[in-house]
Amino acid sequence: MIKLIGVLIVILGFALNLDAIGIVIVASIVTGLVGGLSIVQILTMLGQTFVANRYMSLFIMLLPVISVLERNGLKETAAKFISKIKNVTPSKVILSYGIFRIIFAAFNVSFGGVVGFIRPVVYPMASAAIINKNGSISEEHADELKAMCTAQENISWFFGQVLFVAGPAVLLVKGTLDQLGYKISPIRAVEAEIPIAIISIIVSSIYIIIKDKALNKKYLSETYNKM
């Protein structure tokens, strides 16, 4: 039971509103010492874990970059681009991005996800499709569009990344099946995933189109009735 003292430290630390990173580090060191590790071994393990997962902190670098771009008119530029396209709708914008996203995900190319691309680029383009026709967009309608954009990002990235033959998802599937006695190559795993990825895009496209029409009927009709 003494080896679970690290869990107790984490619980007490968060209950007392102490520094989160400091809590985790202290809990890790104490747990390591109780488990029989030396300080050198603990620090080595922490360093190796940080280096192996350092890419996880890259999203922090995106925040100031996106903020600067937004302050200098990134959203406005995206909206102006859409205003030049005729007969554009939010569903067309979102689905075009979804197809574009899953293709690049198959090559393990990321655009920053919701923070790096959806919020500053895709959503402003989708909302501009409404504003250009209606003159404005309600807060409720805007929230629905944000959810649709985010959903398409998650679907395209989730099903697209497993099309990358050297991706961690493919290697996880291969390793799991190998342990169960099913020997497959990463390429074979990708081949099996291709139809699933296509189906995911088709299903999400149908849903986004139906959802978009329902939102337009609901919110735009309400706007016209108030006029």
Delimit the domains of the chain by residue range. 2-52, 58-226
What is the residue-averaged pLDDT of the chain? 80
User: For residue 43, what are the CA distances in angstroms to 29, 32, 38, 64, 146?
Assistant: 8, 10, 9, 31, 42
pLDDT tens digits along 108-135: 887 778 877 888 888 888 888 888 878 7
pLDDT tens digits along 134-188: 878 888 999 999 999 999 999 999 899 888 887 777 777 777 778 788 888 888 8
**Do residues 162 and 188 make contact, with C-beta atoms less than 8 angstroms apart?**
no
**Do residues 212 and 89 make contact, with C-beta atoms less than 8 angstroms apart?**
yes
**Do residues 18 and 9 make contact, with C-beta atoms less than 8 angstroms apart?**
no
Helix or strand or coil: residue 72? Answer: coil
pLDDT greater at residue 53 or residue 97: 97
The label of the residue with tokens 């599937």 reads 173
The four Cα atoms 112, 118, 121, 123 give a dihedral, to 10 degrees, of: 180
User: For residue 124, what are the CA distances in angstroms to 14, 139, 141, 144, 146?
Assistant: 37, 13, 13, 13, 9
Q: Return contacts of 141-145, CB within 8 angstroms, 24+ apart.
A: 141/215, 141/219, 144/211, 144/215, 145/90, 145/215
Pair of tokens at residue 137? 């967009």
pTM over 0.75: no
User: For residue 118, what are the CA distances in angstroms to 16, 84, 157, 158, 168?
Assistant: 36, 20, 12, 15, 24
Residues in the chain: 227
